Structure formats: structure tokens, C-alpha cells
Structure 1
Amino acid sequence: MKELKSILLALWLLFISYAFFLAPIEGGKDVFLQHLFSAQYTDPLLMTVFSLLGIWPAVYCILLLENDRASIPAWPFALGSFVAGAFTILPYFVFHIEKRRVKNRTPERARLFLSNRGLYILLLLLTVVLMAFGLYYGDVNVYADMFMQSRFVHVMTIDFIVLTLLSMVAIAHHAYYLHERSQKLWWLGLIPIIGALIYLLITDNRQRVEEGR
């Protein structure tokens, strides 16, 4: 566990340093942001990744807030991810300590909303539609060019990758408070967003089966 926290701390510091000092930008202006704010045409694949970065924080809110019982509150990090993505999620996993006896900090109404199976299915369908749209209509070459020209696209792409890899840790964290055997599903985090939502649907189904016994 200490080794993992050290790796995550190094990744966090490296990500911050790279994003602010090393990420490329041509001509002093960010082309993607100019197009975005002026409502000009933007490649569908670019818009898909941008949109999916709005879904990832919702998934992390479910994984972290359904059982917010660790040594430090998860809600500031989870809510902060809507603005800063992995920049705010990474430090939570670096500094928190797992505890089962601490009272859940998430209000009951919020827990009921976050544990709603319908919410998981809605997010899953939205993710699949966005991915299909971006992959079918998008242009990988345009994305690659923008990746090298736009600091925003460069950082958001890396942010998406980091959030995907970090979701394996988030799944294990969520499973810690549920079924121990659910921790074996950590590998689903390798599938961007969809894997985490499939994990939530699997664990929700297990809970329903056990409650029905």
C-alpha cells in the first residue's frame, strides 16, 4: 500500500509539473479553446473526450461517496474533480487511510441517489453513445494534430488516461466497504468509464441477490 501511495504521489507531482510547464502550445494561443468558446466546428472525437471528462467525475462521486468512511472526507476531492479531474482525485488516494468503523459522511438521500441502478445505466448508455459518435465521426489525425497544438487538449487527454488507470484503485476502494470478492474486479478499470459502471452494476446485483435471500 505504501508503495502504491508513493507511486500515486509521484504521478500527481509529475502530472502537475508537466501540465503547467511542459505541455505544448503553439503560437501562444490555444486553438481548441478558441473554437470551443466561439462555437466553431470542433472534431467529434475531440468533443467526445471533452464530454466524457464530464462523466468521469460523476462515476468517481459514486465510487468515493457511496461509502465515505476513510480517514479524510472524500467529498471535496470528488466534487473538485468536476473542475480539475485527476488533479484533485489523485491526492485523495495518496493521503487517505482506509477505515470501516468511521460513520459514513455522505447523507442518506445522497447515498440513495448515488446507489441508484438507473443512474448507472443512464451513465453507461450516455458513455456508449458518446464513444460511438466520436469514434465513427471523429478523425484521429485531427485529434493528433490538436494534441500537439493545444495545451488544453494535451492535458485533457492525459487527464482522461490517468482517470482511467486510477479507476482501478477507485474500484478496489469501493469494494473494500462492500464484498471482499468484489475487489477482484479492479481490472475492469482498464475499460474507460464503461468498466467502472459495469463493476457498479455487478455489485448492485450482488447486493440485491443477498438482500432477497
Structure 2
Amino acid sequence: MFADGTTQPFRSWPYFIGANGTGVICFIPYLIFRKSNQEFSGPKDKLLKILDSRWTGIFLLLTTIGLLAYAIFAGDWGDYIQQFKTREFVHLISLDFCLMCLVFPLTSLFDDDMARRGIKEARIFWAVALVPLFGPLAYLCLRPPLPESSADVSFQASNLTA
């Protein structure tokens, strides 16, 4: 999302911030109106270097595993179901998560990111897209870094097929 933000007719960060406050509803207009962009050129700024880092993906994966383990072993699932039925916020945020899992593979955002990194294997796309939450997290951990020039894309693509 941030890697193609400079080539879009609008910035991506307001949609990202809005989606963190309102959920996928704020993110959908960005996904509808963005133009496909399968190339990245130019230097990466500090934020993009952090977001592109494999360590960021690993941190997010480990944090998710920790939070999920905490929810499974220390959570009160009966109380969650009761709140899901009675509290609109819990109901909405749960459905929002499910909607995002459905919307993610339908957008060109993931296709474009794979193309920017020189990944052409359709099996990787489907493995990531069809495994909610952990598929994208695994992709963040295993994907090659964004190239800073078009010569890097062909180098990375040859390394992925080897």
C-alpha cells in the first residue's frame, strides 16, 4: 500500500489511518480507486524501509501468535460470544476482520506487491490469499525486499526460481 502510494492520484496514509479507526470500510474506497502499479522505482524512505524489512514481518507474526495464544488459553470464549451477540462494537470488529480476509485476495494490491518483488508464481499467491491472517503474515516474513531499481527485480526473480 505504501510502496505504490507515490504513483496513485491520492495518498495512501489517510486510508490506512482511517482503516485503523473504522475498519475495512474506510479502506475500501482506496482499493476501488487505486490504479494497478506493479513497479517500484526510486529510493525507499525510512518508513518504507521499516515496513519492507523482514524483521517487521517476523515481529508482526510473533506478536500475532502471542496474542492468539493468550486469547486461546486465557480468554473467556463464552463471554466473547455473549458480547458478540449483545455489543455492537465486538460484533462489528469481528465481522470487519472476516470482511478484510475476504477482500484481501480480491484486490490488485497483493498482485502488484508480488510483481514489484519479481514473484510470478501463482501458487504463492493462492497459498497466501487463502490462509487468513497467517498467510499474509508468512508472506511478510518470506518475501524478498523491494528493489530500488529495475535491475534488482530480474536479479530477485532469478533467485526465487533457483
Q: Structure 1 length normalisation: TM-score?
A: 0.58
* Residues 189 and 140 of structure 1: CA distance in aligned 2, closer, same or farther (over 3 Å): farther
Q: Distance in 2 between matches of 1:100 and 1:176?
A: 5
SS in structure 2 of the partner of residue 112 of structure 1: helix
For 1:66, the equivalent position in structure 2 comes to 3
- For residues 84-106 of structure 1, the C-alpha deviation after alignment (integer angstroms, 9 at most, x for no partner) is 120111111111121357867x9
For 1:21, the equivalent position in structure 2 comes to none
For 1:111, the equivalent position in structure 2 comes to 48
Q: Distance in 1 between matches of 2:80 and 2:33?
A: 35
Comparing 186-195 with 120-129, greater Cα deviation is found at: 186-195
Q: Distance in 2 between matches of 1:180 and 1:70?
A: 22
The offset of 1:70, in angstroms, is 3.7
The reply to whether residue 179 of structure 1 matches residue 101 of structure 2 is no
State the structure with bigger RCO (CA 8 A, min sep 6), 1 or 2. 2
The offset of 1:180, in angstroms, is 4.5
Aligned length: 149
Q: How does 1:142-153 map to 2 (within 5 A)?
A: 142-153=79-90
Please tell me the root mean square deviation across aligned C-alpha atoms, in Å.
Answer: 3.2
Q: Distance in 1 between matches of 2:39 and 2:110?
A: 20
For 2:65, the equivalent position in structure 1 comes to 128
For 1:86, the equivalent position in structure 2 comes to 24
Consecutive unaligned residues in structure 1, runs of 5 or more:
1-63
Comparing 152-161 with 179-188, greater Cα deviation is found at: 179-188
- For residues 59-80 of structure 1, the C-alpha deviation after alignment (integer angstroms, 9 at most, x for no partner) is xxxxx11332344432221222
The reply to whether residue 196 of structure 1 matches residue 136 of structure 2 is yes
Decide whether the 8 Å contact of 1:67 with 1:177 is kept in 2. no
Q: How does 1:31-46 map to 2 (within 5 A)?
A: none
Q: Structure 2 length normalisation: TM-score?
A: 0.74
The list of structure 1 runs, each at least 4 consecutive aligned residues, that deviate by more than 6 angstroms after superposition, is 101-104, 205-209
* Residues 102 and 198 of structure 1: CA distance in aligned 2, closer, same or farther (over 3 Å): closer
Consecutive unaligned residues in structure 2, runs of 5 or more:
none
> Structure 1 residue aligned with 2:76, among 139, 147, 159?
139
The offset of 1:83, in angstroms, is 1.1
Counterpart amino acid of residue 19 in structure 2? S
Q: Distance in 2 between matches of 1:186 and 1:176?
A: 11
For 1:165, the equivalent position in structure 2 comes to 102
Decide whether the 8 Å contact of 2:144 with 2:156 is kept in 1. no
Q: Distance in 1 between matches of 2:62 and 2:114?
A: 23
Q: Distance in 2 between matches of 1:193 and 1:127?
A: 9
* Residues 148 and 113 of structure 1: CA distance in aligned 2, closer, same or farther (over 3 Å): same
More helix by share: 1
Q: Distance in 1 between matches of 2:23 and 2:144?
A: 26
* Residues 81 and 163 of structure 1: CA distance in aligned 2, closer, same or farther (over 3 Å): same
Q: Using the aligned pairs only, state the percent identity.
A: 22
Q: Distance in 1 between matches of 2:136 and 2:39?
A: 25
